[in-house]
Amino acid sequence: MTYQRVLLKISGEALMGNLGYGIDPKVVANIAQEIKEVISHNIQLAIVVGGGNIFRGVKAASAGMDRATADYVGMIATVMNAMTLQDALEQISVPTRVLTAIAMQEVAEPYIRRRAIRHLEKGRVIVFGAGSGNPFFTTDTTAALRAAEIDAEVVFKATKVDGVYDSDPQLNPNARRYISLNYSHVLTHDLRVMDSTAISLCKENNIPIIVFNLSIQGNIIRAIRGETVGTIVGGSCDVK
């Protein structure tokens, strides 16, 4: 395997499936099965999950809600997703721990870096909830931050698209998908792979980012094996 310790970022929208809101149990069950296969290869896996399927802080703030309050509500939504994913994993015998940046001791462990690493070393999946615990920061930034903290070798950004394009493929049928990109190109051209803070963190810590379609079965393990899946950020610029 190419990678032994991986940070997987799953958007809240990915858990929604084709629903307009909330969590699709079938989608979560499928993701759990993919994760179980990953763990069977002795890969250490940490997950950061978003909350956009339940509540999006930026959207609520734009509608007049206090931004910090809206972001805290969004963080709580990520904990709901994290607990749902934990339940799906434990139902198929994958030991899982939810660690939250906001104390919720009745339902999850507090995030402590050394504890998180110890869980990984013991073969447990860890799911980070409540973002970074701070308003004004996205779960993309949380993914980059946690990846650096736990010494992850790579960040997998699992989305609904099969990579990064030079323009919106839904609007431009001639849009070209990048096979690889460097961090500077992403920042300069505002490609929205992740927010600029997350990209900068990964650049500073030399952590590659692989963007791929989560709905295609087997993509996670293919990416771990080093197969060409989606777009890798951290190399040279190459367009398909």
Binding residues for UMP: 51, 71, 132-139
Residue 223 pairs with which residues in a beta bridge?
none
Instruction: Assess contact for 210 and 157: CB atoms under 8 A.
Output: yes
Q: Is 183 helix (H, G, I), strand (E, B) or coil?
A: helix
End-to-end CA distance of the chain: 25
- Residues making up the annotated binding site for ATP are 9-12, 52, 56, 159, 165, 168
Tell me which residue of 199, 129, 98, 117 sits closest to 157, measured CA to CA. Answer: 199
- Residue appearing with tokens 């080093």: 226
Instruction: Give Cα separations from 30 to 25, 85, 89, 96, 193 (angstroms).
Output: 9, 11, 10, 16, 24
d(CA 164, CA 143): 18
Q: What is the DSSP string of 214-239?
A: TTSTTHHHHHHTT---SEEESS--EE
Instruction: Give 192-222 as a DSSP string.
Output: -SS-HHHHHHHHHTT--EEEEETTSTTHHHH
